[in-house]
Amino acid sequence: MNIVVLVKQVPAISDIKIDTKDNNLVRVGAPSMMNPVDLHAIEAALAVKDAVGDATITIMTMGTALAGEVMRDGIAVGVNQGVLVSDERMAGSDTLATGTILAKAIEKIGGADLVFTGKRSTDGDTGQIPPALAQNLGMSLLSYAESLEIDGETARITRKNHDGLETVEAPLPAVVSVMETMNTPRNPKIRGKMSAKKAVFQVLRLEDIGLDSQQAGAAGSATKVTELFAPEPHPVGIMISGDTVGQAVTKLVETLASKQLL
């Protein structure tokens, strides 16, 4: 079984700069880390490998050479190999172009029986890449998985739906987006960390995956960011306390009265 896990490097801080020329996040020079939920996607892939035995896991990311460093976290816990999709002409790609690029990259390495992603990234927060991949690859889509079971050629997940859980199944090959609550990522061992440091990743450029500059970046994007801004911070609440319930209630009344709310 061939398994691909898509991961992304995201800013490790919330206070990052915005490029006023193209309204994109300024990632160069900003502290970065792996998108947190992607760690659970890696663990989901490893769990399938443990269950089926004969499986190869490829971790893949799109970005600069520095972005590829996050893949070492996957190698350290048992992922077999990494692929970096990197080309300066990909900069500024929206989710439509990104979905096309990643799908072509997966096809280039021989396709996959399972593709794991996190539910969404903390920087873009669109959740559009899993369905874009499924569409481009002609695969089934199983989203927001809380658990996963592989039964022969069928993938079965459970996910929350309103106030309950639903079970959904689809034939392989499939794209599965996972939730943070799906599992607990395993910790790397010393040998795994050493292997991760030495790992050499395959690098794919546009020509390697059969695309040109008009199918990536701003030219290949259907959307354009016209404005980007950080949300206004919510006001900090006031904690009312007292030695007894009566004292707390008295302080609450006094506070509300001082603000002319009573």
Same domain (yes/no): 255, 210: no
pLDDT tens track for 101-147: 999 999 999 999 999 999 988 776 688 999 999 999 999 999 999 99
Do 188 and 255 belong together in one domain? no
Per-chain mean pLDDT for the chain: 89
Instruction: Report the number of distinct structural domains present in the chain.
Output: 2
190 belongs to a structural domain: yes
Same-domain check for residues 152 and 245: no
Q: Are 94 and 116 in contact (CB under 8 A)?
A: no
Same domain, yes or no: 251 and 134: no
pLDDT at 23 over 60: no
Please tell me the predicted confidence (pLDDT) of residue 11.
78
* 141 against 65, higher pLDDT: 141
- Residues 113 and 239 both lie in one domain: no
Residue 170 contacts residue 141 (beta carbons within 8 Å): yes
> What local confidence, expressed as pLDDT, does residue 150 receive?
95
CATH number, domain with residue 211: 3.40.50.620
pTM of the model: 0.79
Residue 229 lies in a domain: no
Query: Which structural domain, as residue segments, surrounds residue 82?
Result: 2-215
On whether both 84 and 8 belong to a single domain, the answer is yes
Interval 174-227: pLDDT, tens? 999 999 999 999 999 999 999 999 999 999 999 999 999 999 999 999 888 777
Query: Is 59 in the same domain as 186?
Result: yes
Q: Using CA atoms, how far apart are residues 231 and 42, in angstroms rounded to an integer?
A: 31
